[in-house]
Amino acid sequence: MAKQRSGLRFQPSGGARGTAVPVGKKQRLSIERLAHDGRGIAHADGRTWFVAGALPGEAVEARVLTARSQIVEARSERIFTAAENRRSAPCPVAGICGGCSLQHLPHADQLALKQRTLAEQLERFSGLVPQEWAAPLVGPEFGYRRRARLAVRWDVKAKRLEVGFRAAASQAIVAFDDCLVLVPELQSLARELPELLRGFAKPQALGHVELFQGTASALLLRHIEPLSDGDLARLLEFCSARDVQLWLQGDGEPTPHAGNADLGFRLDTWNLTLAYRPGDFVQVNAPVNEAMVVQALDWLKPTADERVLDLFCGLGNFALPLARQVREVVGVEGVQAMVERAAANARANSLANTRFHQADLSKPLAGALWAAEDFTAVLLDPPRDGAFEAAREMRSLGAERVLYVSCNPATLARDAGELARQGYRLKRAGILDMFPQTAHVEAMALFEAS
């Protein structure tokens, strides 16, 4: 409930209220260190400044984006003294586009930042240090993204369709010629799409566009009004000429324009193909995803007679490779449609030793029949909220080994503390560089029962 405002104004203890920092103000700052999200940290006038695009040791001029209490968020607009490790960002819209935030930092330093973030979060939230640090799992610096979402907006005043990526800290749309982090197949599509869409007779009908690359290339167009016959014909011609599947989404779920559209991705190490639909969660970095699954199974070391539980199993990204090596895999996922697709993927790959169930894993597991079974090993790959409830009940599942894949070091550290309270040792941990050029940290941790 919002607090009621009275007509009285009180002076805070310790003196007069500080003057607000206006948005747009420029301030010269000396950057001291990097925050976990890759922004430079400085202190001035009793406030802490978080400056995008700045590195430790630099003197910069920063423009205020937002300010609240003693915290100011800003963007570096001029560098007076550059850090020795600063590099020229290869993308001309780096620092403007909201997709990449660390192109000015060498890749080795990006990895060091992510490693430090994971270590600090584990120590801060759980007081844990792994017995062994694994080397970072890395892939290509650029050309890795097999998914992309392009913003589309009709500018009423300019009578022009804007197409591009969302700007950093803004709803503005940034146009671009090339996106260097996309796989080559999607780079060419993204480059050619704006001209096509701006030629539509009814561009106001467009919502956004998503691009996918896997066993096929696919384009999903979200529309807020039905497309005209002419615009649909232009879109079909564009996709046909480039051998791209067309998917459309109005009020319902994404639907392929051709009923036989078959979209998926490969896990070549296990000779597996996993089908998916636009809207399903799929890791964007194919090389690191496959290396991640290889590492997960290597750390977990499942044996042929074991039953393994895969929580937050999604489409079967871990469950199906596991099924190649163990007696049985039980996968659990919160979204029923994903459960059905995981089961279909198992059947399509002739894996009869799998079972999949739907359950809300943010709630206690008690009462679920599958939770009453014994599992010698458990693998978890939760969303950013983590897997606290599952961690609380890990002992009851019988797990001797727990492999935790995380996209949020803070919730991993919280859950690691809970596992430690249950007698699990943090045997090994390391980062997965799923998103180069960003500060996003993916991690893997192995726990063993004491």
CA distance 125 to 106: 29
121 three-state secondary structure: helix
Catalytic residues: 407
Nearest partner of 223 among 242, 250, 253, judged by Cα:
250
Rounded to the nearest 10°, the torsion over CA 276, 280, 286, 290 is: -80
Backbone angles phi, psi at 217, to 5 degrees: -95, 145
Which amino acid, residue 5? Answer: R
Judge contact between 138 and 423, C-beta under 8 A: no
Nearest partner of 152 among 223, 243, 254, judged by Cα:
223
Non-local (6+) Cβ contacts of 75 within 8 A are 51, 52, 53, 62, 63, 65, 95, 168, 169
138 three-state secondary structure: coil
The b-or-e profile of 249-276 (16+ CB within 10 A means b, else e) is bbeeebebeeeeeebbbebeebebbbbb
* Rounded alpha-carbon distances, angstroms, from residue 272 to 110, 186, 346, 399, 430: 32, 23, 9, 27, 26
